[in-house]
Structures are given as structure tokens and as C-alpha cells.
Amino acid sequence: MSTEEQIKDLMASNLHWSGSWAEVDVDYPLLEKQVVDSLDMIRLISLLEDEFDVEIDDRDVVPSNFESIGRIAALVEAKRS
């Protein structure tokens, strides 16, 4: 399973979004479409840190890193390196 797929599954299982996860692909605009709000962001960061054994610093918590699953995956991969 790819990092993107893992992140999507993690989000679908743990975030309460009223939309359809079937329409969410790696480039889907998560912030623009309000898939993730500020409270979800805090939860998501914790989930990512636990799932991928990474530490996401405060300076990494910027909209551009969380605008899509692809961008989140790139952040996770950078933290793994």
C-alpha cells in the first residue's frame, strides 16, 4: 500500500467528514473543500506521527503541506528520510 493510500485510509477512518471519500484522490483540495478543519488538523498530525513514526514540527504545519493527500504524503516521506 502506498503512503497516499495509507493516509487516505487513516483519514477516512478517523476524521468526520460528511463528503464521500470515494471522490478524494491524491490531488483533491482538502482545505478548500473543507475535508480538514483546524481540529481535524491537530488530530491528523497526531495520527500521522503515530502511524509513520515521524515528528511533524510546528514549522511544518502550514496550509501548503496539508492541501492534498499528495502533499501530506510528501511531507511524511521527507520526515522519514
- Number of Cβ within a 10 Å radius of residue 15: 18
Report how far residue 23's alpha carbon sits from residue 70's, in angstroms, rounded to the nearest whole number. 14
Domain membership flag for residue 16 = no
Domain membership flag for residue 58 = yes
Residues 20-69 have pLDDT tens digits of 999 999 999 999 999 998 889 999 999 999 999 999 999 999 999 999 99
- Number of Cβ within a 10 Å radius of residue 17: 16
Domain membership flag for residue 15 = no
**Domain with 58 in it:** 3-10+25-80
Domain membership flag for residue 20 = no
Domain membership flag for residue 59 = yes
- Close Cβ partners of 37 (under 8 Å, ≥ 6 residues apart): none
- From 25, 22, 4, 17, select the one nearest 43 (Cα to Cα): 17
Q: Report pLDDT for 68.
A: 97
Q: Report pLDDT for 16.
A: 86
Q: Whole-model pTM?
A: 0.93
Q: What is the CATH number of the domain that holds 56?
A: 1.10.1200.10
Taking CA 62 as the corner, what is the angle to CA 61 and CA 65, rounded to the nearest 5 degrees?
A: 90
Domain membership flag for residue 30 = yes
Domain membership flag for residue 17 = no
Residues 1-14 have pLDDT tens digits of 899 999 999 999 99
